[in-house]
Chains A and B, each alone.
Chain A
Amino acid sequence: MLLLAVTFTVKQPGLAADGSPTPTGTPVTQQDIMRVAATMYCPLCVGERLDVCEIPLCREMKVVIGEKLAVGETPAQIRTFFVKQYGPVVLGEPPKQGLHLITWLLPAAALLLIGIWLFLRLQRETSAPVTITAGTPDAQTKATGVSDDPYLQQVEKETEKW
């Protein structure tokens, strides 16, 4: 809070981005404009953030942001204005409504499914009982310590040498 108070008091009152007085007397700095611009995207470029975009439209949009901040509009109001002008593309993400919801829900559903799959898989592996029936090679090995598998017998013979 102290930091915020300091930030607001150090600005020159009543100066717009171009240094001209603003109707509300609200100070607007280039940083303020860039902070809002950083939350939006160029409507013509692919995935280029507005604050780093230098095409003529982006430059004009930043001027508009400055004008709107100067008359006291909030960043949310400014974003709403640009969405009305250019569509949701300026937000850099699909809107959370209508068919666009699919793009939001699919990744979450996929993650949930992976979680359930892992859970079921682990549950199956840990709960599966290991039964050794009498007379089977495993049971014989367990009882005598010697397997009747010729290959295993050979391996044991060879390893005994060592």
Chain B
Amino acid sequence: MFGYIVRRLIAGLLVIIAVSMVVFAIFFYGPNDPALAYCPESRCTPQRLDNLRHNLGLDQPAPKQYAEYMSGYVHGRHIASGGISIDCDWPCMGVSFKYRVNVFDYLWKRVPATFSVAIGGAICFLTIGLFSGIFAARRRGTTADKAIVSTSLFINAIPYYLLALLAYLYLVQSLSIFPQTGYFNPLDEGPMKFIGGMLLPWVMIGISYSTQYARFSRGAMVDALNEDYVRTARAKGLAERIIVRRHALRAAIVPVVTIFGLDFAYLLAGTIFTEKIFGIQGLGLAGLDAVTRTDLPIISATVMMGAAAIVLANIVVDILYSVIDPRVRLT
């Protein structure tokens, strides 16, 4: 098990290095000249641009630049150019073109907001999705089942951003049923304000994501309830709720874990729509902001963090498999 995790982490690291090369290629071969970002528009002479390129090391060969860029992830680096000089400590993801700050510090401050959205949202959609899926599976063919399946398809057909936007406009702005949304640090501003600000985003993620979990868990549960071992559990004279929870659900949860791992990783990497609509200063919004300003260091850093989240989520999912199903051997 331990050896397996180590091997998976090494493999994951290789994936992240591959991603970093692609990200770096955007810098180097992309249409945007990084030096332009440092060059004040009004007084940007070709001479000045060349100086900047030299200072930033952009005139160096690509492998050397890449090595310099990657060295920041290992031991930090010192970035000096055109009047600014920043000590970029480990893990250095570069300096923002726009804000002239250490990208890691800039993003790290936004992690709690994004994680709050992700964790609270995941709890909501897992709860709604699994409960309605199991409920529907146990009443397969009934009106309740059909209602759940068609409602889930209906919600699924509405784009998430539309649903979230309408909810924000009506429930927060017009009707004020929900308090103003946003991320409030629970330590500074109290847990109630934190929960109030997060409530609607959680509910919207919960409703929107839960549809596929409802259908997945319904399907898996219908299969599980038809398994021979569930019939055995019945034949033993176990109570229905134990049959459903301990015997059927345990098997039905496996495919759910797979999609959950990926969904959760995406949420951790930052949800642009959620953060934009509800005004939450998280990683998604930072990424969006960076894209509009072609702030390449921040873009590359968010990509790297997203890649890391997905790689880690996959490892966690595989470990979870082996916890759920003893036949899965991690070797």
Q: Is the A/B pair a real complex?
A: no
Which residue numbers of A lie inside 8 Å of B, CB to CB? none
Which residue numbers of B lie inside 8 Å of A, CB to CB? none
